[in-house]
Copies of this chain bind each other. A is one copy, B any other.
Amino acid sequence: MENIFTDEYFMKKALQEAEMAFDKGEIPVGAVIVVNNTVIARSHNLTELLNDVTAHAEMQAITAAANFLGGKYLKDCTLYVTLEPCQMCAGALYWSQITKIVYGASDDHRGFVKMGTQLHPKTVVVRGVMANEASELMKRFFAERRK
């Protein structure tokens, strides 16, 4: 039987979260955290609504996943996020010792790769999963804001 639980499968759920952010006028970034093929946290950017620069999708997902697991280390967890994490989120992921990070679109200006933020040595990174979809959503958001 074919495995339906591909990276694309979970990234679609992160994209649904990004669309929810879009609908609220937030920069459209969404995230889910998965363990054993089960989504244990889902979130989207809420920096405008909460007036809080720390309310990125990833930060909320890390807190929610740790709460679900009853422990602060995200062992055996995979984060799916539509946009490359920033310094803050990569720094939080470093502390969480998360097993895997899968992201969609790259952020060549403020992403952790450009910024040189260090992840935990245990963490595997997969990039570019459904990058076009994530990128198109961002472009549509900023085009509408410029109107």
Contacts and interface: CB of A to CB of B under 8 A. Distances in A.
Contact of A117 (B67, B96, B117): B117
A72 interface: yes
A59 B62 CA distance: 14
A95 B91 CA distance: 14
A54 interface: yes
A66 B92 contact: no
A125 to B, nearest CB: 16
In the complex, the count of this chain's copies comes to 2
Interface in A89-116: 89-92, 94-96, 115-116
Contacts of A72: 47-48, 51-53
Contact of A86 (B71, B73, B89, B91): B91
A94 B109 CA distance: 13
Contacts of A117: 87, 91, 115, 117
A63 B30 CA distance: 20
A88 interface: yes
A88 B92 CA distance: 5
8 contacts: A52-B63, A54-B95, A87-B88, A87-B117, A88-B92, A90-B91, A115-B117, A117-B117
